Amino acid sequence: MAVAACGGRGAGLCPLLLPLLFLPGLAAGPAGMLQPRDTPSRERRELGGLWSFRADLSPGRDAGFAQRWYRRPLRQSGPVIDMPVPASFNDITQDPSLENYIGWVWYEKEVLLPLRWLQGDPAPRVVLRFGSAHYYSIVWVNGVQVVEHEGGHLPFEADISSVVQGSPGTLCRITVALNNTLTPHTLPPGSIQYMTDKTRYPKNYFVQNIRFDFFNYAGIHRPVVLYTTPAAYIDDITVTTTSSDSVAMVQYQVSVVGSTANSLSLSLRDQEGKVVATGDGPVGELKVLNPNLWWPYLMHENPGYLYSLEVKMQAQVGEALLEDVYTLPVGIRTVHVTSTQFLINGRPFYFHGVNKHEDADIRGKGLDWPLIVKDFNLLRWLGANSFRTSHYPYAEEIMDLCDAYGIVVIDESPGVGIKLLESFGNKSLQHHLAVMEELIRRDKNRPSVVMWSVANEPASELPPAAHYFKTVIAHTKALDPSRPVTFVTDANYALDHGAPYVDVICVNSYFSWYHDPGHLEVIPLQLTAQFENWYKTYQKPIIQSEYGADSVPGLHSDPPLMFTEEYQKAMLREYHAVFDKKRKEYVIGELIWNFADFMTSQGKLLFIFYTTLHPPWEFSGLCHTNIVLEGRIKGPLFTRTEHSWFCHKIQHDQSQERRSCLY
């Protein structure tokens, strides 16, 4: 994919653009993106742990390319440090320059591959896969470039068989150059601003400007995996389902790469291992009698029911008869949207959930199993049935648990911060379309995913937004006609140029917080008017996709004042009263902001406000607090921290915002 140019002007070098000027482009192809699994014909090996790491601190961030660090072990290029993978690099060290570093960083890992992976006639196919890396990645194996990928939050991979199979018994050296620069054409967008006043800033000084409210963590955030397949293999599987009271149909399409002389057989098994349907061939459907449907959490006594679809391929490659086996979890469920309802399996569903983020102390956005499991235990303990992947696709491991636990997902692209006119141009549009292709390719078979969200709070009141979102949404629907599509808006209903093209209206509003702060009395009027205006204009169901208020745990006031626990409780009660009325008409959900604490960029406004309330060493953090109301998600005040559940303390020398659990 084309490399985006930097935004902003000034002296110095663009940390994203310049090093790539002399590199060949290798865009990811349209191949399948099946999640790596161990099967009788496939092996996988995770490469987590410590990698060698080096940030390119040269003025132009281009020393690694000029000196070709990928040609030899990274330690021979200069000083390296240990860096855990998966993790963000920002908070790992005591080096403050890495916290907000922008530009190229380099990772390296040396591994020894099993001989059985490198031999045979034909030899197995060896694939190197990254769950995600932020944001622009170039990967070499033994000094040979194997893949280049633009964008974070989504997987990419490369067939490295030809590189590694010529040298059995030797170390395989994997080198990654990673750039976190955001430009007006990336997702999310950003811009580089060069500070040219030499009396105030050092030479070549620049900053990354962003228009979204979370920290721009960077690094190899999800597992790096080596896996094998036979030389001819199952490349992709697409599954859709329909159902009635007593019969379900599982439509499937399977693609095979590496041989045209192949046969396919399919078996669908229930959770007890019993075969309930069989089929053969690359396209067809399986008939399931008396199916166990996939139901959301708390909507059925057995939520998240998953069948296992085993696909077997036999293929002739030369003189060899090869077999490949892949097993795909399948949930049988339907989704349908009317003018007033969201139906799952024909029954009205109400989104009673949260927005989330995917970061935590120290590891940043790095995948963390204990944290993930704790979050899901909390979600179910709270009674949440859904969440939105605000504001980017979450890890496959998280999505696996949504499928298994019956947690409904609005799957959102990283289209957050699309505010500038420049970000609605054709260059941005083409990248956005490619990102939606990657997201759908990864998550299309997940029963938990009931709707795609293509963006969060874009400047949809700008005239170019009409063509932009009409195109993105039409493209998304063409890729997946089985799911509704939305984007999340904070624009005025009468000015939003993208809303005509969505299936569900998702609106964010913070009455008495960001608007009319401190005035709880305006909520019933303003929130009711919001819903009525949107519905009168579009006749589409509405989700309150964000609402909430910050509070300082232990800060009290009667009558309520902003940032006290009483104020937040009063504000939520006002919102919930309107929800309870409008859900009888056309409101189909409420997703509170936010589930747990997350990092944002440093700033002075909130810190100044809080120091007027308490000295900064006295209060325990900027936290969303709990509200216990009938029929609502319930729970005590807590926040997610490294070892326990309490609000993160803000030290006297720190001005970073920490938002914590609302439930």
What does the angle CA 602 – CA 606 – CA 608 come to, to the nearest 5 degrees? 105
Q: Residue 125 in contact with residue 227, Cβ under 8 Å?
A: no
Q: Residue 178 in contact with residue 151, Cβ under 8 Å?
A: no
Q: Give 83's strand partners.
A: 51
Q: Residue 340 in contact with residue 541, Cβ under 8 Å?
A: yes
Reduced to 3 states (helix: H, G, I; strand: E, B; else coil), residue 246 is coil
Reply yes or no on whether 157 is catalytic.
no
Cα gap 79→75, rounded to integer Å: 6
Reduced to 3 states (helix: H, G, I; strand: E, B; else coil), residue 114 is coil
Q: Residue 81 in contact with residue 53, Cβ under 8 Å?
A: yes
Torsion sign over Cα 96, 100, 106, 111:
positive
Query: Which one of 457, 546, 565, 574 is the catalytic residue?
Result: 457
Measured torsion, CA atoms of residues 465, 476, 402, 246, in degrees rounded to the nearest 10: 130
Q: Give 316's strand partners.
A: 321
- Name the pairing type of β-strands 505-508 and 485-489: parallel
Helix H or strand E segment including 329: strand 320-330
| Of residues 218, 216, 215, the one with CA closest to residue 600 | 215
| Of residues 275, 42, 257, the one with CA closest to residue 266 | 275
| 433 CB-side CA count, 13 A | 19
- Name the pairing type of β-strands 156-159 and 233-243: unpaired
* Phi, psi at 327, each rounded to 5°: -115, 125
Cα gap 125→119, rounded to integer Å: 10
Active site residues: 457
